[in-house]
Amino acid sequence: MGAGKSTIGRLLAKELRLLFKDSDKEIELRTGANIPWIFDKEGEPGFRDREEAMIAELCELDGVVVATGGGAVMREANRQALHAGGRVIYLHASVEQQVGRTARDRNRPLLRTANPEATLRALLESRDPLYREIADVVVETDERPPRMVVLDILERLEKLPPR
């Protein structure tokens, strides 16, 4: 959360001349409701079911860069779909960076807590090993402009053997 998935994904897609799809935005377009509303009405499990279906669909597409929500990796089905769908790039950000980037964002239901920093620490602890397990490339985003992160990703993707 707050690692720059949407911003960097959009820039990467442009650089690669591919379509860009954000799974959260696609869910919002399909449902006509924003993510916090879905969380409020269906709870996290309801949202995660929608997310799983959307990720499966997006990972079947060719020529697309997909950005997922930070929690997508928690479901085995999502990890399998992402890994099978193409290259997985894990954008890692420190908790301090995440706090700064998400502080004023009201569209993050999991951060509606008394201590968002503690929540982010717990989320990173549970999610980080899973992202590293499926990632083809791990990129640190702290204190780096999105354009520099994209150039780093492109350089590292070129060095990967074909799948």
Residues annotated as binding site for Mg(2+)? 6
The DSSP code for 136 is S
Known binding-site residue numbers: 2-7, 24, 48, 70, 108, 127, 144
Record the tokens describing residue 155, joined without a space: 């350089």
Record the tokens describing residue 37, joined without a space: 């509303």
Residues ≥6 apart with Cβ < 8 Å to 45: none
Taking the C-alpha atoms of residue 147 and residue 17, their distance in angstroms, rounded to an integer, is 15
Known binding-site residue numbers for ATP: 2-7, 108, 144
Known binding-site residue numbers for substrate: 24, 48, 70, 127
